[in-house]
Structure 1
């Protein structure tokens, strides 16, 4: 049995309260991981071109209020 299959089996055996707690933990885990990825890309300058394009469009009046 693979590690993923073991996790799937364990999750499927959780009761409602445990599943709710696991779901909340996993959502936070994913959010923190996403934040670290974005921070890493930002520090490496990988988002600079996107920011420059967005600012250029804003300055050219190609944006609208949300």
Structure 2
């Protein structure tokens, strides 16, 4: 554990129990979300991007797209 996190826990000990519990719930949620993001970002994405690019090209060649400007989005 880093020194900064240790200091944060040390300071949190001075809070009332209900605030410590709220802080703990927030921290657990943040850690779980961070783990999910790390897992998601560690997966190879190139296949999905390739699939999307192929679909876009196919749609364009089959007349399923139309050209628009930024002001029409």
Show the counterpart of 2:19: 18
Q: Tell me the CA shift for residue 3 of structure 1.
A: 2.9
Q: Tell me the CA shift for residue 13 of structure 1.
A: 0.8
Show the counterpart of 1:35: 36
- The number of aligned residues is 44
The TM-score normalised by the length of structure 2 is: 0.50
Show the counterpart of 2:49: none
Larger radius of gyration: 2
User: 1:13-44 deviations in whole A, cap 9, x for unaligned?
Assistant: 11111011001101100111001110011136
- What 5-or-longer segments of structure 1 have no aligned partner? 46-66
The TM-score normalised by the length of structure 1 is: 0.54
- Taking only aligned residues, the RMSD between alpha carbons, in angstroms, comes to 2.0
